[in-house]
Amino acid sequence: MPISIAIDGPAAAGKSTVAKRVAKALRFVYVDTGAMYRAFTWYVLQKGLDPKNEEESCSLIPEVQIKMDPQGGVFVCGQDCTRAIREPLVSGNVSYIASYKPIRLALIELQRELAKEDNVVMDGRDIGSYVLPNAQVKIFQIASVECRAERRYKENVEKGIPTTFEEVVEEVKKRDYIDSHRDFDPLMQAEDAIPLDTSEMGIEEVVDAILTIVKEKTGIEKCH
């Protein structure tokens, strides 16, 4: 039976960066669920539709095909949108797309299929609470709004995405509210998840802490 590691938490908590490194250390498959919702959002915008309109957005479910490669590339219907899904326009609308039940169900089905096939590290908002409720390891990664905004702002600067720190703070706060107040499958900590506050921790410290938890829970150690 494949091993699943679920890493949940609010926007810009550093989940993806940590999850990638944990997966690499264990030689597990990394599944970036947030990129899937971003990819769907990007496609809605490309079609000239309004992400705030549930009916319009959900009408694209039958035609959307999302593929991800081991190098982190993201493709929708054959189009490479790896960089585009990190643009502010997508970031500002992805929570609307992620709040629509039909879209969530479609992408959750894809995520569950991936977990049946391989040992995975999967990060998102609802992996331990809903997508993979039987995951052997569940982490709920948190950090202060300011700390998370600082991380996201630095990412944007490094990627050449024009934005201000104040804009990122507001974006993080907005995403927190929408993610935790949506009717279906809101952001929440699973009862059996281990909380990990990373506000004062470096990336390697977080990775090491999670690898220690994985070893305690499953007996699996990082590959050398």
- What digits encode the pLDDT tens for the residues 57-96? 999 999 999 988 877 889 999 999 999 999 999 999 999 9
DSSP 84: G
- Label residue 56 by pLDDT band (50, 70, 90): very high
What angle, 0 to 180 degrees and rounded to 10, lies between the N-to-C axes of helices 33-46 and 15-26?
130
| Nearest-angstrom CA–CA distance, 179 and 173 | 10
pLDDT tens profile 139-155: 999 999 999 999 999 98
Please give the sequence-ordered ranges of beta strands (E in DSSP) within 89-177, or none if there are none: 120-124, 137-142
Average the pLDDT over 199-210 and give the result: 95
Task: State the pLDDT at residue 114.
Answer: 87
Task: State the pLDDT at residue 71.
Answer: 77
| Nearest-angstrom CA–CA distance, 100 and 154 | 30
Write the DSSP string, 164-175: -HHHHHHHHHHH
| Residue 70, amino acid | P
| Nearest-angstrom CA–CA distance, 32 and 52 | 23
Average pLDDT, the chain: 93
Please determine, for residue 185, whether its predicted confidence score (pLDDT) is greater than 80. Answer: yes
Q: Strand, coil or helix: what is 127?
A: helix
Domains observed in the chain: 4-212 (3.40.50.300)
| pTM confidence score | 0.84
Q: List, edge to edge, every strand of the sheet that includes 79-80.
A: 66-68, 74-76, 79-80
| Residue 97, amino acid | I
- Give long-range contacts, CB 8 A cutoff, 24+ apart: 218-222: 218/3, 218/136, 218/137, 220/3, 220/26, 222/25, 222/26
List, in order, residues 6 or more apart from 5 with CB less than 8 Å away: 19, 22, 26, 28, 120, 121, 122, 135, 136, 137, 139, 210, 214
| Nearest-angstrom CA–CA distance, 51 and 49 | 6
| Nearest-angstrom CA–CA distance, 173 and 10 | 10
DSSP-assigned beta bridge partners for residue 76: 66, 79
- Label residue 199 by pLDDT band (50, 70, 90): very high
Average the pLDDT over 7-11 and give the result: 94
DSSP-assigned beta bridge partners for residue 120: 4, 29
Q: Which two tokens stand for residue 78?
A: 């054959």
Backbone angles phi, psi at 29, to 5 degrees: -85, 130
- Label residue 1 by pLDDT band (50, 70, 90): confident
